[in-house]
Amino acid sequence: MLITIDIGNTSTLFGPSKIRIKTDPALLEKTLKNFKRTDAAIVSSVVPQLNKIIKKYFNKVIFVGYKTFKGQMKIKVKNPAEVGADRLVNAYAAYKLYGSPAIVVDFGTATTFDVIDIDGSYLGGLIAPGIQISADALHEHTAKLPKVKVQMPKSIIGKSTVDSMQAGIYYGYIGLVEGIIKRLNSQFSIENSQLNIIATGGYAKLIGKKTKAFDHIDEDLTIKGLGIISLF
């Protein structure tokens, strides 16, 4: 059986079971004990120090990196080795599943925008602070603002401090997403082709409730991508 594992800075997702855990060495060990050593694993990891734990539990492990895509996807950036594996997996999955040119917006610990041109080449992208990071920063760097849950507010005009913070965080990110996508679309007008926008990550559905910026919302894009890559 092939196990797909996406290790992010905040959470780790296992496929095909869709088990999600907090990214933590002890929790990772505990979860891996449920799998058979005869299983094979393909892994996208942005936390290299956890990779040795994965190796203990499987006879065969493939860690995806930029070299994985040789002959499959051109990576047109200055230093391909520094691009997160999850971003490359998302880009390839978007190209294969939804077509190109495309942008993948991933709402993870960071909010990333990854761009795929009409030929399926990875062009790079943008990295912005994640939604939860921004919410936490408001609390941690002010004297009176509380820690709040990221959620869709009742109104864009907050009637309390918590409501105001939630409105600012939520609609602020919608503005960020829509603004960046608009600018990228204008750049791609030279290709005479509209960008295909795919949202993924933990907050994709929440943000998608109040914007029409996304053509597709696919929370399992990385796991699906790992499955496709395993067929190389």
The pLDDT tens digits of the residues spanning 77-120 come to 999 999 999 999 999 999 999 999 999 999 999 999 999 999 99
DSSP 8-state assignment for residue 206? H
Ordered by where they begin, the domains of the chain are 2-63 (3.30.420.40), 74-229 (3.30.420.40)
Q: Tell me the average pLDDT of the chain.
A: 94
Share of the chain above pLDDT 70, in %: 98
Q: Cα 39 from chain centroid? A: 25
pLDDT at 190 over 90: no
User: Of 86, 106, 117, 218, which residue is the catalytic one?
Assistant: 86
**139: Cβ–Cβ under 8 A, 6 or more apart, which residues?**
145, 146, 147, 148
124, β-bridge pairs: 115
Question: pTM of the entire structure?
Answer: 0.93
Q: CB within 8 A of 130, min separation 6: which ones?
A: 107, 108, 109, 110, 111
Catalytic residue status for 6? no
CA 77-78-79 angle, 5° bins? 95
Q: Quick count: other Cβ atoms within 10 Å of Cβ 170?
A: 22
Q: Is 204 in contact with 105 (CB distance < 8 Å)?
A: yes
Q: What is the pLDDT of residues 16-41, one digit of tens each?
A: 999 999 999 999 999 999 888 778 99
Instruction: Enter the tokens of residue 129.
Output: 């602070």
Band (185; pLDDT cuts 50, 70, 90) = confident
